[in-house]
Amino acid sequence: MHNHHSALGLVRDLKPVEPVTLVRPHAARRAARFFADHFPGKTLYAVKANPSPDLLRVLWDSGVTHYDVASIAEVRLVARTLPEATLCFMHPVKAEEAISEAYWTHGVRTFSLDTMDELEKIVRATEGAADLNLLVRLRVSSDHSKLSLAAKFGAEPEDVAELLMAARQAADALGICFHVGSQAMSPHAYAVALERVRAAIVAASVTVDIVDVGGGFPSWYPGMEPPPLKAYFDVISRGFESLPISYSAELWCEPGRALSAEYSSLIVRVEKRRGDELYINDGAYGALFDAAHVGWRFPVTLLREPNAEVSVTMEAFSFYGPTCDDLDHMTGPFMLPDDIQAGDYIEIGMLGAYGCAMRTKFNGFGAEHVAVVSDEPMESLYVGALADTERRSATITKLF
């Protein structure tokens, strides 16, 4: 793994033929410290966002000791990488064999569920264990989020009371969890969800020991500039404090994107220009899945030497990836200088969340080179003494 100060320095030194993933451990450390210092409860990292063992170790060293795992493969990964970590199996639908292995082999004690069938499965797989933390997942709205998670999981309101009462009987600690959707753009999403939690507790008349507000904490992307994260924490804190819960109840959250997005960016090379379309050497089957399939816009910048002639006129471009598939298309728009051409390099930012995690080897592409850089991410919610509003301009001048 190479070490460089910046993306431009790497391009100057290596002139890479294949895509290069840039990792910024200092950015992940900063994000982890922000949650540790400001979230009024316990932070679990959602491993699915980026399962890199290197990132897991950075977060652990920065104080994140609990991990939201969604598959037995993630359980094994984190257990192998961080043997002392606390693992929470937060997928509401699990194979009984996976529950059994997680409990008996890896020491997992926390499981989520959203049906009576899943509760019975957990009880069977753990042989009626008396040390379980069972969190009932509620279905809540994703109206305030860019990617909905409201359709697949979550107990319906009419089923919640019975499920909570049954889980209370089987649990050492009973919890309620939810997920407001990915990239929540308003803190109000959590206020609405916590009102659903209140209604569920009142209907079931049970003592709740854990309230887990899930993920959804946003990062910065073009056209998706969220409020400061502290605004989310304030809304969650007020809502939690007003709930009819145990005096010793714990508040949890499960950030994935917010802890990992700034950790990685990607250097790609332009192989061809056709009008306002750029053919690059990574795409929909690589780190740019979200850009292709859900129209996600990522910050971009052209990597050029400061003494080169650089156009100051920006133009909207779309990208084609390297495979033979027409679906390998990222519509953007991605704003870049209008004189960009084949052979130029582009840095695509904020890909630490989900980008690297969703790579494939389709069409033989996908060879990944990794370099550590020490400069700042292209955008940040944490830069500047953890300030929420200080961001660097997304223009080429920021590289020099």
Q: Are 33 and 62 in contact (CB under 8 A)?
A: yes
Per-residue pLDDT at 1: 59
Which residues of the chain fall below pLDDT 50?
Answer: 385-400
Per-residue pLDDT at 357: 86
For each of the domains in the chain, give its residue range(s) and CATH number, in order of start: 2-23+261-399 (2.40.37.10), 25-260 (3.20.20.10)
**What is the rounded CA–CA span in Å between residue 155 and residue 356?**
31
Q: What is the pTM of this model?
A: 0.92
All residues at 6 or more sequence positions from 389 whose CB lies less than 8 Å from its CB, including other chains: 228
Amino acid letter, 389? T
Question: Does the N-terminal peptide bond of residue 228 adopt cis geometry, omega within 30 degrees of 0?
Answer: no
Per-residue pLDDT at 137: 97
Per-residue pLDDT at 387: 41
**What is the rounded CA–CA span in Å between residue 377 and residue 88?**
30
Both tokens of 316, joined, read 């909207």
All residues at 6 or more sequence positions from 172 whose CB lies less than 8 Å from its CB, including other chains: 130, 131, 132, 133
Q: Which of 88, 177, 324, 356 is catalytic?
A: 324
> Is 137 strand, coil or helix?
strand
324 is known as an active-site residue: yes
Per-residue pLDDT at 309: 63
Per-residue pLDDT at 396: 29
For residue 266, count CB atoms less than 10 angstroms from its CB and return exposed for 0-12, middle for 13-18, buried for 19 or more.
buried
Per-residue pLDDT at 13: 87
Instruction: Name which of 333, 321, 331, 394 is nearest 358 in CA terms.
Output: 321
Task: Look at the block and give the residue holding tokens 């009973």.
Answer: 174
**Alpha-carbon Rg for the chain in angstroms:** 22
Summarised one tens digit per residue, pLDDT across range 16-45 is: 999 999 999 999 999 999 999 999 999 999
Give alpha helix (H) positions in 171-228. 188-204
